[in-house]
A and B are shown apart, each in its own frame.
Chain A
Amino acid sequence: MKMNRMRSMLFSPANNPKMYLKAPVFRPDCILFDLEDSVAFTEKDAARDLLCEAVKVLDFGSSDVCVRVNSLRTPFCEKDIKAIVPAGVRFIRLAMCESRDDVIQISQMLSEAEKESGVEEGSVKVQCSIETVKGVLNARETVTGSDRVVSLSFGAEDYTRSLGTKRTREGRELMYARMYLPVVAAERGISAIDTVYSAIEDAEGLKAEADMAANYGFTGKSCIHPNQIDVIHSAFMPTEEDVEHARKVMTALEDAKAKGEGVFVVDGKMVDEPVIQRARKVLMQIGE
């Protein structure tokens, strides 16, 4: 699957009709319609129905659509999958994903749903939402559970609870997970999305945290308010020099391929596979 840039994932409660219309306006890279925590138990069916109808008829502009489905340990997950695959959803975030088995189980569920609705098997991609201590420790193995896994995301609220600590503004309690998860993602060649910053009014705090996440190796960040998108995008935007270099690398790669050469040089330096991958990532981040 071609990885679209995913600097921002904007949470949108799936039971809020207004957000289906307004979310694309703010141009997040991805709109994350949530069937999990932001929907009350009694509202799950109504939210799912609304989501499916909306996805069928609405245009989400430049934004990709992802759906956060309920955890496998709830009675809602299977219902979610059975409904949203035929409705056209092709990207899900699996809440409370803790192990390779979870990924295998959701993958099987998706295969069945794809088969039933005549969709090519494997079309629905998965983002593993790592939000427990167990999930963090198992992450390296978890993301190998299926080729459907194109991304992982970090959820700090449940993680701190499972760690038995409290969240702080500085986020020291998250340091281990924040350093480890991007490493896991980089090894697997998938994207890593940092947790939300919940102080909506604090743009400076958000900027500092997003800059730090980018520095750790995250490729994007979830957000809960449209006014956070611009700050997040700028944090995950490569510099002009990076973009220029990446374009040179890709042009040189095309030339080398045409000439049948395996090795080539850009700006006096030999280019190998990691440099090419880095260039691809940079161009992906700016939408090329």
Chain B
Amino acid sequence: MKKGRRFFKNMLGRRVPEKANLFGEIEPYKKADKRHIKYITEDQEFSGKVVNNIREALEKAGIKDGMTISFHHHLRAGDYVLEMVMKEIAEMGIKNLTLCVSSLTAAHECLIDHIKNGVVTGIETSGIRGKLAEAISKDCILENAVIFRTHGGRARAIEQGDVVIDIAFVAASCCDNMGNMNGQTGKSAFGSMGYPMVDARYARRTIAITDNLAPYPVYPISIPQTLVDYVVVVDQIGDPEKIGTGSTRKSKDPVELAIAKYASQVIFASGLVKDGFSYQAGSGGISLSVAGYLVDYMKEHNVVGGFASGGVTSAMTEMLEKGYFRTLLDVQTFDAGAISSLRNNPNHLEMDASMYADPFAKDCVINNLDIMILSATEIDVNFNINVLTASNGVIMGALGGHPDTAAGAKLAIAVVPLTRKRIPIVVDEVINISTPGESVDVVVTEYGVAVNPRNPVLKEKLIEMGMPVFDITELRDKAYRLTGIPNKPKFGDTIVGIVEYRDGTVIDTIMNVL
């Protein structure tokens, strides 16, 4: 220490220098900030972050006009949280909010009134369904166009600061007074907290809402106390009947089985099914039937997969338990069986949306994905897929992880019936593009398959196997022969939705329907 340096005394009377080489300016000690208990001292006992009600949490978090607030949709159609919070906000007279929600379901129709009353003026989400979607598509009730983001794209936008969340509301089926929480236990258990795990990390304020305040510390910890500002206890965060999607089983529908059989033959032909391979599929009947054929093949060829990922159903947890996959990576848990597996099976891992699919993360799970089974509302002759709007142009679906997984997987297979209720599914041009055709490798219908021209080797192989391989225009023609060529919907000139690609670029625009 050099001579001539100036010292001063801190609160305890110790000499500390004004500056030190590596320290720079020194801040002297002031107080210990010890928590005091009233039975020992006369101070008020610290009771953690629990506040009396949602209103108090909102006031303490500093809710005000123009803010961006976030919610998540793990409670699916059974969610009570968004409605409870929005009711309080509306009663407080707050206006002009932007909602950043991982997805909107039938449980969120209350937003129609909040939009009409000016409480909500912007929505950023993965998808919208039902009456809310119709009101936005047809009646143009929302002042600003909805920004549609994929699950990976949402995580990216939050991490990059495209979206700044002022207050994140996190539903927790189990939470302690400090805010440690999970969705795995309690009467309203819903499983993985994949989406709000990202929100809580970046939001200015995070409010946990629980119907199950458990002794400290709650474990497992999906979102830790370090990220949580307030905890609100309510009677019920959701309707357990509607939180789970119900037990999901293989299809008995012969059309779906025919599609699943072709899809599984494509998978086997690809040569990707070998030890350590990875797989993701949706929760629909076709996907589950594909998994059934896959298991038979794995059994016969003695193959054990590395991981299965995405939204997890009990059909997948059964595969884990029987040793067909070593691990499950779970961003959203669909049913009671899968929730129990997440709680009890150490090889069933919770992951956040960033780890799942953020395109700008240093790496993400879907970049290691071998096979992805995709659904579609429509597919066009350029292999572009629409999962957002119906054939009448009205918003009715969700991007989810669709574009993320299609881009990340080595083999992305879209499984669709050629027609649904006299509507062609393979068409000339989709109403809206959610997933660009260049990331879709094969389209499988009950009539046969079409291979993206980018994959000539796979196409040759399928032809050699004697599979019914068609040019995608032939599938379109078959569909049109059965249904006729559909009239295009009539659109107005109001932009009701902007479809962001996962990297933040804009892939399409959704116009209002007349």
Known contacts A21-B482, A59-B481; A26/B419 CB under 8 A? no
* CB atoms of B254 and A225 under 8 A apart: yes
Contact with B along A227-271 (1 / 0, CB 8 A): 100000000000000000000000000000000000000000000
Within 8 Å CB of B257, what residues of A? 226-227
Tell me if A186 is interfacial: C-beta within 8 Å of chain B.
no
Tell me if A3 is interfacial: C-beta within 8 Å of chain B.
no
What number of residue pairs across chains A and B have CB atoms under 8 A from each other?
21
Tell me if B211 is interfacial: C-beta within 8 Å of chain A.
no
**Interchain nearest-CB distance for B479 vs A (Å):** 11
Within 8 Å CB of A59, what residues of B? 481
Contact with B along A23-65 (1 / 0, CB 8 A): 0011000000000000000000000000000000001010000
* CB atoms of A226 and B481 under 8 A apart: no
B254's partner among A21, A61, A227 (CB-CB below 8 A) is: A227
Contact with A along B442-463 (1 / 0, CB 8 A): 0000110000000000000000
**Interchain nearest-CB distance for A208 vs B (Å):** 20
* Docked CA distance A61–B446 (Å): 12
Chain B residue with Cβ nearest A227: B254
Chain B residue with Cβ nearest A225: B254
Chain A residue with Cβ nearest B259: A25
Tell me if B158 is interfacial: C-beta within 8 Å of chain A.
no
* CB atoms of A21 and B419 under 8 A apart: yes
Interface residues of B in 416-474 (CB under 8 A from A): 419, 446-447
Tell me if A188 is interfacial: C-beta within 8 Å of chain B.
no
* Docked CA distance A26–B446 (Å): 8
* CB atoms of B258 and A25 under 8 A apart: yes
* Docked CA distance A56–B447 (Å): 20
Tell me if A115 is interfacial: C-beta within 8 Å of chain B.
no
Within 8 Å CB of B482, what residues of A? 21
**Interchain nearest-CB distance for B26 vs A (Å):** 79
Tell me the interface secondary structure of chain A in the complex. helix
Q: For chain A, which range describes its interface: under 10, 10 to 19, 20 to 34, or 35 or more residues?
A: under 10
**Interchain nearest-CB distance for A53 vs B (Å):** 14
Tell me the interface secondary structure of chain B in the complex. helix
Tell me if B14 is interfacial: C-beta within 8 Å of chain A.
no
**Interchain nearest-CB distance for B54 vs A (Å):** 51
Interface residues of A in 217-231 (CB under 8 A from B): 225-227
Tell me if A278 is interfacial: C-beta within 8 Å of chain B.
no
* Docked CA distance A26–B254 (Å): 8
* Docked CA distance A227–B261 (Å): 12
* CB atoms of B255 and A22 under 8 A apart: yes
* Docked CA distance A225–B258 (Å): 13
**Interchain nearest-CB distance for A211 vs B (Å):** 20
Chain B residue with Cβ nearest A200: B252
* CB atoms of A25 and B252 under 8 A apart: no
* Docked CA distance A22–B417 (Å): 10
* CB atoms of B255 and A25 under 8 A apart: yes
**Interchain nearest-CB distance for B202 vs A (Å):** 49
Contact with A along B474-492 (1 / 0, CB 8 A): 0000000110000000000
* Docked CA distance A226–B251 (Å): 13
* CB atoms of A25 and B446 under 8 A apart: yes
* Docked CA distance A61–B254 (Å): 17
**Interchain nearest-CB distance for B514 vs A (Å):** 31
**Interchain nearest-CB distance for A57 vs B (Å):** 9
Give 12 pairs: A residue, B residue, CB < 8 Å, sorted on A: A21-B482, A22-B254, A22-B255, A22-B446, A25-B254, A25-B255, A25-B446, A26-B254, A61-B447, A226-B254, A227-B252, A227-B254
With A21-B419, A25-B255, A226-B258 given, can you name 11 additional A-B contacts, CB distance below 8 Å? A22-B255, A22-B446, A25-B258, A26-B254, A59-B481, A61-B447, A225-B254, A226-B254, A227-B252, A227-B254, A227-B257
